Amino acid sequence: MDVGQLLFSRRQALGMTLQDVGDAVGVSKSTVKKWESGYIKNMGRDKIAKLAFVLELSPADLVDIPEIQSAPVTQSETDRLYDMLSDADKEIVDQLIRGLASKQ
Q: How far apart are CA 71 and CA 6, in angstroms?
A: 24
Q: Which residue has the higher pLDDT, 31 or 97?
A: 31
DSSP state of 27: S
The CATH number covering residue 85 comes to: 1.10.260.40
Task: For the chain, state the CA radius of gyration.
Answer: 15
Taking all residues of the chain, what is their mean pLDDT, rounded to a whole number?
A: 86
Average of per-residue pLDDT across 78-100: 86
What pLDDT is stored for residue 68 in this prediction? 38
d(CA 67, CA 7): 21
For 86, other C-beta atoms within 10 Å of its C-beta total: 9
Q: How many domains does the chain have?
A: 1
Q: Give me the domain span that covers residue 67.
A: 3-102
DSSP state of 66: -
pLDDT per position as a tens digit, 26-44: 999 999 999 999 898 888 8
